[in-house]
Chain A
Amino acid sequence: MNVPVMYLIGLAAVVFTIGVVGVLIRRNAIVAFMSVELMLNASNLALIAFARSLPDGRGHVIVFFVIAVAAAEVAVGLALIVDIFKLRHSIDVDEMSSLKG
């Protein structure tokens, strides 16, 4: 595929913004987590688009590391959500306000 890199970055920007809005409006912690994954994916797409247009294989290596870190983050994040659910029987992020003054 040979489209201008600007189109791909534009698509990545749109998907990233959808992820940001998802984190802001959803109160289900699991869906907020999925929105974070959308943002990571958008940044990966931008990196791959730049790697193809330069062309430089190092972009692929960075995306590989981002995917590995995302896997680690999801494992710990979902463990935290399970723990919070055991404590409060809810994963609504608005109800996690014990620290409020």
Chain B
Amino acid sequence: MALDLVIFFFLAVIAIATAASVILSRNAVYSAAFLVLNLTTVALFYILLYASFIAMVQLAVYAGAIVVLFLFVIMLLGADRGESGQTLVWQRPLAIGLGVVLIGVLFYMLLVAGSIPPPAASDLPAGFGGPEAVGRLLLSEYVLPLEVTSVLLLASMVGAIVLTRAGRREKR
């Protein structure tokens, strides 16, 4: 239990520090690099919470595909410069104030809700969170959402190609 808490707080500090670095970095490329670190730390949490399949999906889809897509667009647009001067002076203090209010409400809710003691690892079903367990659920109970997801991915693929096609604007 004590070792678990040490591991948890160590990883939690890394997750929070990298998340803060994502939004505070001046250069968008650094933000993407910190996003990879944050996603990897969250994947470690998934492994420690017996969600091994989701951890692998996280690394392959998020840290692999999505961040590479971000980096491609940053390089393509040359958008890694800092931002221009502040146009709304009250925006930043207001945003930070609202963030403090949000975190206060969330933690108040947590304190009211109290904590559920998690079951011991030996009480988990065999193969909990592995590819077989998740795959069985996906192809039995959730087979319709799975098929809808494939249509959604096809639609977004077609949409992305249509939106970025060369010469679209001249035709109008």
A-side contacts of B153, CB under 8 Å: 68, 71-72
Cross-chain contact A55 with B119 (CB below 8 angstroms): yes
A68→B148 CA distance, assembly (Å): 11
Interface residues on A, range: 35 or more
- Given the interface contacts A11-B15, A34-B22, A63-B54, does A20 sit within 8 Å of B149 by beta carbon? no
A31-B54 Cα distance, complex, nearest whole Å: 25
Choose one: B28, B31, B92, B125; the contact of A25 (CB below 8 Å): B92
Known contacts A55-B124, A70-B66; A17/B103 CB under 8 A: yes
Contact B116 A71 (CB under 8 A): no
Query: 1/0 contact trace for B34-65 toward A, CB 8 Å?
Result: 01001100100110111101100110011001
Complex partner residue of A14 from B1, B16, B46, B84, CB under 8 angstroms? B16
Q: Which residues of the other chain, A, contact B128 by a CB distance below 8 angstroms?
A: 55, 57
Main secondary structure of the interface of A (DSSP, over half): helix
CB distance from B19 to the nearest CB of A (A): 4
Q: How far is the CA of A90 from the CA of B32 in the complex (A)?
A: 19
Report the minimal beta-carbon distance from B102 to chain A, rounded to whole angstroms: 5
Chain A residues, CB < 8 A from B39: 41
B interface: dominant SS: helix
Which are the 9 A-B pairs with shortest beta-carbon distances?
Answer: A22-B23, A24-B95, A72-B156, A1-B48, A6-B115, A79-B163, A13-B106, A21-B99, A79-B160
Report B's interface with A, CB cutoff 8 A: 1, 4-5, 7-8, 12, 15-16, 19-20, 22-23, 25, 28, 31-32, 35, 38-39, 42, 45-46, 48-51, 53-54, 57-58, 61-62, 65-66, 69-70, 73-74, 76-77, 79, 83-84, 87-88, 91-92, 94-96, 98-99, 102-103, 106-107, 110, 113-121, 123-125, 128-129, 133-134, 137-138, 141-142, 145, 149, 152-153, 155-157, 159-160, 163-164, 169
Having A21-B96, A52-B51, one finds 15 other A-B pairs with CB under 8 Å, namely A4-B116, A4-B117, A8-B8, A18-B16, A20-B102, A25-B96, A27-B84, A35-B22, A37-B35, A38-B19, A48-B45, A60-B53, A68-B153, A72-B152, A83-B163
